[in-house]
Homo-oligomer: A and B are copies of this chain.
Amino acid sequence: MALEHAILVSLLEKPGSGYELARRFERSIGYFWTATHQQIYRVLKRMEADGLLAVREVPQQGRPDKKEYSVAAPGRALLSAWLHEPIEPESLRHDLAVKIRGAAFDDPAALVREVERHRAVHGDRLAHYLAGELRDFTGPGAPTPLDAGQELQHVVLRGGIAYERMTIAWLDDVLATLHRLAGAPPAG
């Protein structure tokens, strides 16, 4: 399981509460790993019980108190060990591809709206990533030079950008194919 490791990395970058982690998983870390708050709270508890994390109760004004987690020495050792062992290259799980192949046994034209919707979502994500890149790494307000951690965050973000661009181009290809099939189903 890599959620543990993602939490360790995120807490090393900056200690925070379960709620804050959940928000990060909707943003930067979430670009390549998703998690809901329910899951995060449960894993945080377990990691704390295992001695991987330290907790500090932080009283707040006008807001509920929070528990700020930070990485303890064993947590850091665990992460280090994981970093040094090989992992399996990812395999895709792409529902939409299943749908596209399935469209051969249904009405291909009915998929157009769905594919367009996905294209819009990926367009939004790309815009969001590009704005983040400008803000944190390449814009006038960004630190120069970047330190190692920032360089690594940037290259990961570039991966997200490349993924979204590739996906958008592919969805355009899919749409063109669907239109071709709808335009001339029997004729060549």
What is A's interface to B at a CB cutoff of 8 Å?
2, 5-6, 8-9, 12-13, 29-34, 76, 79-80, 82-84, 86-106, 108, 110-111, 114, 117-118, 121-122, 145, 148-149, 151-156, 158-160, 162-163, 165-166, 169-170, 173-174, 177, 180-181, 185, 188
Instruction: List 13 additional contacts besides A5-B99, A80-B106, A89-B122; criterion CB under 8 Å.
Output: A34-B91, A76-B105, A79-B102, A79-B105, A89-B118, A97-B159, A100-B152, A100-B155, A104-B148, A151-B180, A155-B173, A155-B177, A162-B169
Which residues of the partner chain B approach A96 to less than 8 Å between Cβ atoms?
A: 87, 89-90
Rounded to whole angstroms, the CA-CA distance of A147 and B102 in the bound complex is 14
Which 4 A-B pairs give the minimum distances between C-beta atoms? A104-B149, A32-B97, A32-B94, A166-B166
> Which partner residue on chain B sits nearest A87 by CB separation?
B95
Q: How far is the CB of A138 from chain B (nearest CB, A)?
A: 14
Which residues of the partner chain B approach A169 to less than 8 Å between Cβ atoms?
A: 162
